[in-house]
Amino acid sequence: MRVERIINDTNDEFPIGIRVLAVDDDPTCLLLLESLLRRCKYNVTTTNQAITALKLLRQNKFDLVISDVHMPDMDGFKLLELVGLEMDLPVIMLSANGDTNVVMKGITHGACDYLLKPVRIEELNNIWQHVVRRKRFERKDRYNSDSQDKLRANSGEAVGMGSIGNNGKLKKKRKDQDEDEERDENGHHNNEDPSIRKKPRVAWSAELHGKFVAAVNQLGMKNATPKKILELMKVEKLTTQNVGSHLQAFIRTFSAYSYDDPKVITKLTKFRLYLKRISCAANQQVNIAAAVRMRSPNGLGNFHTLAGSNQLHNAAFRSFPPRGVLGRLNTHAALLIRGLPSPGTIRSGHGQNSVNSGNDQCKLQSFVSGIHNANILHGLPMSLELDQVQTNKGVSHIGELPIADSTTVFPVSSSLIEATVTGFSGNPLLGVTSNSLMLEASSQQAGNSRDIDPAIGFRNGNTLSDFAPLAPASNRKSNADLQREPIPINWNAGELITSAPQEWNSPYQSNVTPCSMNSSIPVSGTMVQFGLCLDQNNSTDSDSIGPLSFIDNSAMEQSIIDKEGYLMLEPWGQGSHIPYNIGLLEDLWEFQ
Amino acid sequence: MLGLAADRLRADMNRLLSFLFHQGILDEQFLQLQQLQDETSPNFVSEVVNIYFHESEKLLRNLRSLLMDREFSDYNKMGIHLNQFMGSSSSIGAKRIRNVCLAFRAASDQNNRAGYIHAAFAPPFFSASTFVLECIRGART
């Protein structure tokens, strides 16, 4: 497989020689860590200050960062976020404190692993996996998103991409560009090993984003096309594709915010990177089958029957064509997963969890899922979209088509997602559906990575009963499992779904978290919300709520932009997105 | 002659080490430390342990001053010191110290200041830590 071949070409003795940066203020542990890492034959650099670490990271190329949590000059979580934001490297947290909430915090802030002191050499022997994982997903994501970008650029930012007929064109173009992918068309220079990264990511640093925002401000939303933005930004080695994808994320996140607000900018960047991460991961798996299965004859509204059908489990395991389209879709999926404990849900007054717990869970979910979860999400939106195709009439959005070759999916999906998101408060079923999908995804995924039989077992035709009661259930569980365990989260999601249909009798106990239920709800909203409250320990309700409503739009907008080339810019002028979403939701329900 | 002395020294040290292991003062992490010592880093263990002692003395001093203060209320700060102490102790393999730290932290988590920490834990904590430190100091190669 190409990815593996490339990675192998990089370093025949991989993982020997991966460049690790170790940060710890305790000199004892630092020295010990350094020796252990050297013993594992890694290339080690150490520092006892976070600020120095950042400097080193900016100057040199590293593959992995191991950082202590408690440091005097900068909080380990802050460093973690910054690294993820700027360099997008895998970061492993290290601490003597193994409390679940601290571990959770680490995972939600994006750590790909959390080790406890005393750190053992066996654990360090395995950390290279994070490097491979990240590279692999990023390659795929870049491949996909580059294809997407090319497609979009090729269509010349035209608005008329909405028709289904274009879908075939898109596909064809994507295929044509498969060969192009290897060429460094982005114009980026690969100063690193060319075999590692064909196309280096554009790290949207605060400065770069500031330029971007200034350009967008200057042009105005209607005129903010990637090409023009790029011209205004005057940044070398930036392509319209990069700007375009960034613009999408931007629109998605900031439709309700003023984009001059630096706080918002930070959020956006974080959000953007999470999107990237998610889409990378989501490219792997696809439970489109689940999505397909979700489609019920009655359309969206009829979740009961939908859930009940055995199609659910069938769908779950159909392989998903890992195409570029998914890249975008993944964000939806990611949102879904991230939004496990949808704060929106909570807020909607279904009385399921406290907002705080929801937020925490949200944070937890979003990060925990990591690569694994992304897959789940990936599948989810697709199903939603497929459903939509049949029933949706009023949706003008063109959701991401998880299945490139399914032209029918085009029009509706995004509306479904939206409806799901906004309608969550009112439509537990929608949420449940997502959960089911998630379940499928998670179970599939879980099945792949570990033998999670219960999750798989669940698949056999459960009706989605009323979702709401599910939420309060099983709160405590698997907190411990959450430690460094992205999979369990999925589990929970899966379990929730399972329990939902089965009158809440989860066949398998562990790892059931109410979070999963929440996740189903706001597909995109959650994500944004999550992103917003991500690094803010004091995220307020308003924070969460704010993005929620327009997240949906952004999610949809993104896909629309993909297809239609900024068609979605229109809604910006319209003002409120919330009624827009609600309207769609109503439309959906009409189809019952 | 020298060889004999060195052998005897090594035998004594091994005896002390096994004593420490037996008493639960050290655990297998210390063995890992020893394994990391090889030709490329011949004095690794003594280096690490020296650094550990240096740092721990600082930490213990800080903790002592924090706790001795009658108006002590900054559990957070204490927690940070304690956490670092626990981290380095467990990395060294100082099991006994780590356990004491754990107990200490559990008590402080409850924020039970009234005599609980002071009377019950502070003196034993420090004495235990000091005792263990001395033992390890004696055991280093």
Q: What is the pLDDT of residue B81?
A: 86
Strongest mean pLDDT among A230-234, A588-592, B24-28, B65-69: B24-28
Q: What is the pLDDT of residue A247?
A: 79
The percent helix, strand, coil of chain A (3-state, each to 5) is 60, 5, 35
Mark yes or no for CB contact B84/A118 under 8 Å.
no
Name residues 46-105 of chain B within 8 A of A (Cβ): 47-48, 51-52, 55, 80, 83-84, 86-88, 90-93
Buried/exposed code over B111-139 (b: 16+ C-beta within 10 A; e: otherwise) = eeeeeebeeebbeebbebbeebbebbeeb
Q: What is the reported pTM?
A: 0.42
Mean pLDDT of chain A: 55
Which amino acid appears at position B82 of this protein? Answer: L
Q: What distance in Å separates the CA atoms of residue B139 and residue A303, rounded to the nearest whole number?
A: 69
- Among all chains, which residue has been given the structure tokens 């053992």? A120
Beta-sheet strands, E only, within A127-237: none
DSSP A254-279: HSSS-TT-HHHHHHHHHHHHHHHHHH
Q: Which carries the bigger pLDDT value, residue A367 or residue A3?
A: A3
For residue B13, being part of any structural domain is answered with: no
Write the pLDDT tens digit of every residue in B50-79.
Answer: 899 888 888 888 888 887 777 767 777 888
Write the pLDDT tens digit of every residue in A404-427.
Answer: 343 333 333 333 333 333 333 334
Collapsed DSSP state (helix, strand, coil) of residue A539: coil
For residue B18, being part of any structural domain is answered with: no
Mark yes or no for CB contact A35/B36 under 8 Å.
yes
For residue B90, being part of any structural domain is answered with: yes
Distances (CA, A) of A464 to A185, A367, A461, B94: 47, 26, 9, 53
Residue A113 has pLDDT above 50, yes or no: yes
Q: Which carries the bigger pLDDT value, residue A92 or residue A412?
A: A92
Task: Report the CATH number at residue B53.
Answer: 1.20.120.160
How far is the alpha carbon of A481 from chain B, nearest alpha carbon, in Å?
21
Q: What distance in Å separates the CA atoms of residue B54 and residue B49, rounded to the nearest whole number?
A: 9
For residue B74, being part of any structural domain is answered with: yes
For residues A358-368, give the mean pLDDT. Answer: 40
Return the half-sphere exposure (C-beta side, CA atoms, 13 A cut-off) of residue A558: 37
Q: What is the pLDDT of residue A128?
A: 86
**Residue A286 and residue A440 in contact, taking contact as beta carbons nearer than 8 Å:** no
Buried/exposed code over A244-263 (b: 16+ C-beta within 10 A; e: otherwise) = bbbbbbbbbbbbbbebeeee
Q: In whole angstroms, what separates CA B74 from the centre of its chain?
A: 23
How far is the alpha carbon of B4 from chain A, nearest alpha carbon, in Å?
32
Residue A19: its H or E element: strand A19-23
Closest by alpha carbon to A381, among A394, A397, A399, A366? A399
Q: What distance in Å separates the CA atoms of residue A69 and residue B74, rounded to the nearest whole number?
A: 19
Write the pLDDT tens digit of every residue in A505-564.
Answer: 434 333 333 333 333 333 333 333 333 333 333 433 333 333 433 434 444 444 443 444
Closest by alpha carbon to B36, among A116, A32, A42, A127? A32
**Residue A549 and residue A522 in contact, taking contact as beta carbons nearer than 8 Å:** no
Confidence label for A16 from pLDDT (cuts 50, 70 and 90): confident
**Contacts of residue B59, Cβ cutoff 8 Å, sequence gap at least 6:** B81, B84, B85
Other residues' Cβ atoms within 10 Å of the Cβ of residue A222 = 11
Minimal-distance CA residue of chain A relative to B54: A28
Write the pLDDT tens digit of every residue in B72-107.
Answer: 677 778 888 888 899 888 888 888 888 888 888 887
**Contacts of residue A187, Cβ cutoff 8 Å, sequence gap at least 6:** A237, A239
For residue B30, being part of any structural domain is answered with: no
Mark yes or no for CB contact B47/A31 under 8 Å.
yes
Q: What distance in Å separates the CA atoms of residue A94 and residue A83, rounded to the nearest whole number?
A: 15
Structural domain count, chain B: 1
DSSP B94: B
Q: Which domain holds residue B80?
A: 43-140
For residue B115, being part of any structural domain is answered with: yes
DSSP A467-536: SGGGTTS--STTHHHHTT-HHHHHHHHHHHHHHTTTTT--SS-TT--HHHHHHHS-HHHHHHHHHHHHT-
How far is the alpha carbon of A522 from chain B, nearest alpha carbon, in Å?
37
For residue B11, being part of any structural domain is answered with: no
Which amino acid appears at position A496 of this protein? Answer: L
ipTM of the complex as predicted: 0.84
For residue B124, being part of any structural domain is answered with: yes
